[in-house]
């Protein structure tokens, strides 16, 4: 196994597994590999796929592209990105030249329609805090993002490699009250939370990013959807985190993503808060993961590939590949305790596994599973 399971994380993983308890196995419907699914299920898949593909191929715009000014950030810049963004102005474009750039702190995008594009080989090192916040623990530090998209809609960030100057950084890209943001084809490495979406940042598009960490200590996540209704995630590669995807909020889509070498590949959960925002306010508890559509993702070499827990409900998972799990591929957790607080069971979720080789354990309430091999709860 390649997942990074330190002793504290092993204890947490065992706690999650201990939350499974039920009186009898749920009724399931047999479905053979490559067999046609029911027409109503296929209709859901087709509609969700079409919606995501349209957004993927038609970037949202506020209609002001014709007025776009372009500013070039030359190679070797130091603390130049903030000024370039301000110079470009609303709907402006900043082209980050190939080469190394350095930023001594957070860069904030607070004007709508800004587009930051990295030329091939553009790398920006940000000097931000090493860590801040703990998903299931006590409050530690204020979240400290490298790139902070705040109160600005239709912002686009693409083609950048974003790295911490220290061994690890706190947050790579942070969205707060930023609707229709698009993060595409970026490289982010060794951040505690590489992408963090919150503050009513609806309709975020997170596409074809490469996100990984080599850090094995502490609580960490590749992509956090905390408050980001209608988010769409496609084509991302995420590796090595406690939770490669940590998904709360509702009515979102995730398709064709690869999640590897984590404790959990995709976690459908309730983000507890326990963090201070950049302005010092407490991050509120999120809405449980609800009505997510996760289609044909590939999670492998995680301790658990797909975990539904803490009130995750009415989610739709369709033929998500899963292999080489340290425990089971898909787990619907029962009632448990997370961060000292009661956590509700996963309920009313609908999962179509790709084949009988997918192992699952349903300790929740009123979930439906087609295909796969069921492992009894303890």
Encode pLDDT of 214-265 as tens digits.
988 778 999 999 999 999 999 999 999 999 999 999 999 999 999 999 999 9
Is 30 buried (19+), middle (13-18) or exposed (0-12) by CB count in 10 A? Answer: exposed
- pTM for this predicted structure: 0.93
Q: How far apart are CA 143 and CA 147, in angstroms?
A: 12
**Residues 164 and 145: beta-carbon distance below 8 Å:** no
| pLDDT (0 to 100) of residue 276 | 83
Mean model confidence pLDDT for the chain: 89
Cβ neighbors of 288 (< 8 A, separation 6 or more) are 248, 269, 270, 310, 311, 312, 313, 344
Say if residue 314's pLDDT is above 90.
yes
Say if residue 172's pLDDT is above 60.
yes
Dihedral sign from CA coordinates of 106, 164, 128, 214: positive
Reference 271, options 339, 186, 215, 173; nearest CA is 339
The mean per-residue pLDDT over the stretch 200-209 comes to 98
| pLDDT (0 to 100) of residue 278 | 87
| pLDDT (0 to 100) of residue 341 | 73
> What is the percentage of the chain residues whose pLDDT exceeds 90?
74
CB atoms within 10 A of CB 115: 21
| pLDDT (0 to 100) of residue 212 | 98
Return the higher-pLDDT residue of 62 and 179.
179
| pLDDT (0 to 100) of residue 24 | 43
- What is the set of domains in the chain, with CATH numbers? 7-69+127-374 (2.160.20)
**Confidence class of residue 84 from pLDDT cuts 50, 70 and 90?**
very high
| pLDDT (0 to 100) of residue 51 | 97
- Find residue 304's DSSP bridge partners: 264
Token pair 């408050």 is found at: 227
| pLDDT (0 to 100) of residue 343 | 85
| pLDDT (0 to 100) of residue 142 | 81
The mean per-residue pLDDT over the stretch 263-289 comes to 89
Q: How far apart are CA 363 and CA 378, in angstroms?
A: 9
| pLDDT (0 to 100) of residue 333 | 95
Helix (H) or strand (E) holding 8: helix 7-18
**Confidence class of residue 130 from pLDDT cuts 50, 70 and 90?**
confident
Return the higher-pLDDT residue of 7 and 224.
224
Reference 217, options 239, 242, 194, 245; nearest CA is 242
Q: How far is CA 52 from the centre of its chain?
A: 16
| pLDDT (0 to 100) of residue 254 | 98
Q: How far apart are CA 260 and CA 286, in angstroms?
A: 25
pLDDT digits (tens, 9 = 90+) for 39-52: 999 999 999 999 99
| pLDDT (0 to 100) of residue 140 | 60
| pLDDT (0 to 100) of residue 13 | 59
Dihedral sign from CA coordinates of 173, 175, 178, 181: positive
The mean per-residue pLDDT over the stretch 70-99 comes to 97
Say if residue 22's pLDDT is above 60.
no
pLDDT digits (tens, 9 = 90+) for 90-115: 999 999 999 999 999 999 999 999 99
Say if residue 30's pLDDT is above 70.
no
| pLDDT (0 to 100) of residue 241 | 96
Helix (H) or strand (E) holding 362: strand 359-362
Q: How far apart are CA 327 and CA 142, in angstroms?
A: 34
Dihedral sign from CA coordinates of 276, 90, 98, 100: negative
Long-range contacts at 56-60 (CB < 8 A, ≥ 24 apart)? 56/205, 56/207, 56/232, 56/234, 56/235, 59/156, 59/182, 59/205, 60/154, 60/180, 60/182, 60/203, 60/205
Say if residue 126's pLDDT is above 90.
yes
| pLDDT (0 to 100) of residue 26 | 39
Q: How far apart are CA 72 and CA 88, in angstroms?
A: 9
Say if residue 137's pLDDT is above 80.
no
The mean per-residue pLDDT over the stretch 71-88 comes to 97
């Amino acid at each position: 196994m390649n997942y990074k399971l330190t002793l504290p994380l092993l204890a947490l993983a065992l706690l999650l597994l201990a939350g499974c308890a039920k009186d009898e196995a749920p009724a399931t419907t047999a479905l053979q590999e490559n067999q046609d699914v029911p027409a109503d299920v296929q209709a859901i898949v087709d509609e969700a796929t079409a919606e995501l593909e349209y957004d993927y191929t038609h970037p949202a715009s506020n209609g002001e592209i014709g007025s776009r000014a372009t500013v070039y950030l030359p190679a070797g810049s130091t603390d130049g990105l903030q000024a370039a963004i301000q110079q470009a102005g609303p709907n402006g474009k900043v082209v980050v030249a190939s080469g190394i750039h350095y930023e001594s702190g957070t860069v904030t995008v607070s004007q709508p329609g800004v587009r930051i594009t990295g030329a091939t080989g553009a790398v920006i090192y940000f000097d931000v805090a090493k860590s801040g916040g703990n998903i299931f623990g006590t409050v530690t530090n204020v979240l400290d993002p490298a790139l902070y998209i705040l109160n600005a809609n239709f912002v686009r960030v693409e083609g950048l490699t974003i790295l911490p100057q220290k061994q690890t950084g706190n947050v790579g890209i942070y969205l707060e009250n930023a609707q229709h943001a698009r993060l595409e084809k970026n490289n982010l490495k060794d951040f505690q939370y590489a992408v963090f979406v919150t503050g009513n940042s609806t309709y975020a598009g997170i596409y074809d990013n490469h996100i990984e960490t080599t850090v094995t200590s502490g609580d960490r996540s590749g992509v956090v959807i905390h408050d980001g209704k209608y988010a769409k995630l496609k084509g991302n590669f995420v590796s090595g985190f406690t939770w490669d995807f940590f998904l709360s909020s509702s009515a979102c889509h995730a398709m064709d993503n690869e999640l590897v070498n984590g404790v959990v590949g995709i976690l459908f959960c309730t983000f507890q808060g326990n963090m201070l925002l950049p302005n010092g306010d407490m991050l509120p508890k999120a809405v449980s993961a609800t009505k997510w559509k996760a289609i044909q993702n590939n999670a492998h070499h995680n301790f658990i590939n797909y975990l539904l827990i803490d009130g995750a409900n009415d989610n739709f998972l369709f033929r998500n590949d899963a292999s080489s799990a340290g425990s089971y591929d898909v787990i619907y957790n029962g009632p448990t305790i997370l961060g000292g607080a009661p956590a509700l069971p996963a309920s009313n979720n609908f999962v179509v596994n790709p084949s009988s080789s997918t192992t699952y354990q349903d300790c929740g309430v009123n979930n439906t599973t087609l295909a796969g091999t069921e492992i009894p709860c303890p």
